Structure 1
Amino acid sequence: MYKVVLGSMLALAALTANAKIDSSSDGAATKVNLSGSFEEQRVAILKDLDGGKVYAEITPKERGEVKDALARIASALQAPSGVEGLSDEEKTRVFNDQQVINSILTRAGADSRLICTREKKVGTHRPTTQCLTVAERRRMTEAGQDLMRQQKIQLRGNN
């Protein structure tokens, strides 16, 4: 989650900033290279996507969307003039790609969060630890509800 927020902030800063740093007392300014920061974030996100732990609950389709959006942003930032050289339309496209990435990774990161509970099984006093992701818990709940609905329909059909 931290990487997504940091990546968002860096990309947004890259889009909106006419970044200049006063490097001396005489007012000379040097430009900040934000594309290097984006590249570091892109590599980190791709590593997390391929690692399968941070974004374990992301679908292959969403994984492809994130990779495509990252590639489009990277190619837009490769222009020799950098962010300043992007037209308003190109900046809008980059911003929209950033939003796609943020929404997918934020949801996948939240769904991949591991929750552990200590439960006592019936017939024993020894508690056991059960760890499931948020998405696994949701799937189990939905599967249980579907099973109850099916049994209810079957009971109605037998009467």
Structure 2
Amino acid sequence: MYKLTLSVLLAFLPFAPAIATINSNGDVFTPEEGLDLSRSFEAQRGAIVKALADGETYSEIASQDTRIVMSSLERISDLLDGAQNVEQLPEETKVQVFNEQERINSLLIPAYADSRVICRRHKPTGSNRPTNICLTVAERRRARDGAENFFRYNPRAAGPVIDR
């Protein structure tokens, strides 16, 4: 069993850097860090649009938030029109670009964290066969909150109270 697990891990090792970052034209966009305007904006914009479309990287982002991110990317693109970097822009435009960048990062970074899939082995009651249960962080949170609310608002569901 140990050798099988080790061989599977070693087989996927060459793909680990491709999974950890999205590489686009030499500039790396990392979803956990968000948009960084010290690097090429157009390359990062392409990587963000691709990540939003793949349905996995930002699977927990709301459609309204996706529209906000896309419109903010468009505004930054318009503000950077003709400039090689942010330092060449007037102060007022720099502030607008910074605000759009923060809006994007405030939506993308938590959505990426909530979209992370976690798999756990679970052995159902009455069975000797464990199964894998894979859920995103947000799905786990919703399930936990739903169970807490169920027992909070349905006190009899906890079971009978036995006086001794």
Q: TM-score, normalising length from structure 2?
A: 0.71
Give the drift of 1:146: 1.4
Name the structure 2 match of 1:150: 153
Unaligned runs of 5+ in 2: 1-19, 22-29, 159-164
Aligned CA distance change for structure 1 residues 152 and 57 (closer, same or farther; 3 Å): same
Give the drift of 1:80: 5.4
Cα distance in 2 for partners of 1:5, 1:137 equals 20
Structure 1 segments of 4+ aligned residues over 6 angstroms from their partners: none
Name the structure 2 match of 1:112: 115
Unaligned runs of 5+ in 1: 15-36
Identity over the aligned pairs, expressed in percent?
Answer: 42
Q: CA RMSD in A?
A: 2.4
More helix by share: 1
Cα distance in 1 for partners of 2:85, 2:52 equals 27
8 Å Cα contact 1:7-1:41 kept in structure 2? no
Larger radius of gyration: 1
Cα distance in 1 for partners of 2:121, 2:84 equals 57
Cα distance in 2 for partners of 1:38, 1:116 equals 34
8 Å Cα contact 2:59-2:111 kept in structure 1? yes
Give the drift of 1:114: 0.3
Q: How does 1:1-159 map to 2 (within 5 A)?
A: 2=21, 3-4=30-31, 8-9=35-36, 11=37, 13=38, 37-79=40-82, 83-152=86-155
